[in-house]
Amino acid sequence: MTAANLTSVAQAEQGTSLWKDAWRRLRKNRLALFGLAVLTAFILIALLTPWLAPYAYDSQNLDLGASPPSAEHWLGTDIFGRDLLTQIMYGGRISLAVGFVATAVALVIGVTWGAVAGYVGGRVDAVMMRLVDILYALPFMIFIVLLMVVFGRNLLLLFLAIGAVEWLTMARIMRGQVQSLRQQEFVEAAVSLGLSPATIVRRHLVPNALGPIIVYTTLTIPSVMLLEAFLSFLGLGVQPPATSWGLLISYGAETMEEYPWLLIFPGAALTLTLFALNFLGDGLRDALDVRGSGD
């Protein structure tokens, strides 16, 4: 046995080799790296917005009104003379936060719920999934309006409310995956080794179900962002002068014929995020699939 061999074995021992391998493979995928770079940049900008933004988010210039892109206002201004770049930067904070936090909430609840229901099966599964069905059947708007009325409007609640709705589909996907995986002999092998059910789910089932989950996650993030826009539009989400991409887009759409830049720039920001997410999601799915690698 050579020294090189020994080191690679020693590295393997440091656990989480699945993620390490995945990262190694992801690095070879240019599109995914581009997606990752764009997202990282957007998140950094969002975090640093209070220091980076050229204007205050509530500063108006009513004399200026809506103006196209210029040297002072790179992306132009809206009808109140507010700087669009500033608005997009502040809006990104809300949109990205809603997108990621609500999706993370959905991911954690959905994957856990679905995995448990799928693995335990029987009566537990029936009860857990009927609960999901009931929540599905509940009109979503009423649910949110109710939450807002009871607890008052606040951003954190908005995150939780959206997350609490989005996890349902995630749970169903996960349950289906786990049900088909649990028939496989390697799960039986794990049982006969004496592993506990929790370990089997964590080590043997969840990693094998990641593909569809990741793809669905990357689809959930933009749909959550649009959902937030819709709620804000109805007056249930963020309110002016605070803003979000979804809100900017919906205002921009109203004045699209006179002031097209008000739609184009926020739309471009959302589209770019969406592209980046999809590239990264596809890349992650391939990177996590050990079979797809040409080492």
Partner 1 sequence: MPLLSVRDLQVDFTTRNGRVTAVNRIGFDVEAGKITAIIGESGSGKSVACYSLLGLLPVPPASIESGSALFDGRDLLQLSERELRQIRGRDIAMIFQDPMTCLNPYMTVGNQLMEPLLYHRKVTRQQARARALELLAEVGLRDPESTIDQYPHQFSGGMRQRVMIAMALINEPKLLIADEPTTALDVTIQAQILGLIAELQRKRDIGVIFISHDLSVVADIADEIVVMEKGHVVERGDRQAIFEAAEHPYTQKLLAAIPAGSKAPGEVPRDDLIQVRNLCTWFSQGRGAEPLRAVDDVSFTIQRGEVLGLVGESGSGKSTIGRSLLRLVPVTRGEVLFDGTDVTSLQGTALKQMRRRMQMIFQDPYASLNPRMSVYDTLAEPLLLHGIESRKTVEQGVLRLMDDVGLARAFVRKYPHEFSGGQRQRIAIGRALATRPEFVVADEPVSALDVTIQAQILELMLELGREYGLTMLFVSHDLAVVRHIADRILVLYKGRVVEQGTGDALFNSPREEYTRQLLQAIPGRGLL
Q: Residue numbers of the site for partner 1 (CB under 8 A)?
A: 1, 5, 8-10, 12-13, 17-18, 184-186, 188-195, 203-204, 207-208, 288, 290-291, 294
Q: Are 205 and 182 in contact (CB under 8 A)?
A: yes
- Return d(Cα 170, Cα 172) in angstroms, integer: 5
* Beta carbons within 8 Å of 113's beta carbon, 6+ residues apart: 128, 132, 167, 171, 174, 175
Q: What is the nearest approach in angstroms of partner 1 to the Cβ of residue 107?
A: 19
Q: What is the nearest approach in angstroms of partner 1 to the Cβ of residue 281?
A: 18
The residue (of 177 and 278) whose beta carbon lies closer to partner 1 is 177
Q: What is the nearest approach in angstroms of partner 1 to the Cβ of residue 128?
A: 22
The residue (of 13 and 63) whose beta carbon lies closer to partner 1 is 13
The residue (of 40 and 180) whose beta carbon lies closer to partner 1 is 180
Residue from 126, 104, 103, 112 nearest 173 by CA: 112
The H or E element that residue 135 is part of is helix 122-137
The residue (of 126 and 234) whose beta carbon lies closer to partner 1 is 126
- Return d(Cα 257, Cα 254) in angstroms, integer: 8
The residue (of 28 and 65) whose beta carbon lies closer to partner 1 is 28
Angle, to 10 degrees, between the axis of helix 245-254 and the axis of helix 84-97?
130
Helices (H) and strands (E) in the chain, counts: 13, 0
Q: What is the nearest approach in angstroms of partner 1 to the Cβ of residue 35?
A: 23
Q: What is the nearest approach in angstroms of partner 1 to the Cβ of residue 192?
A: 5
3-class DSSP state for residue 248?
A: helix
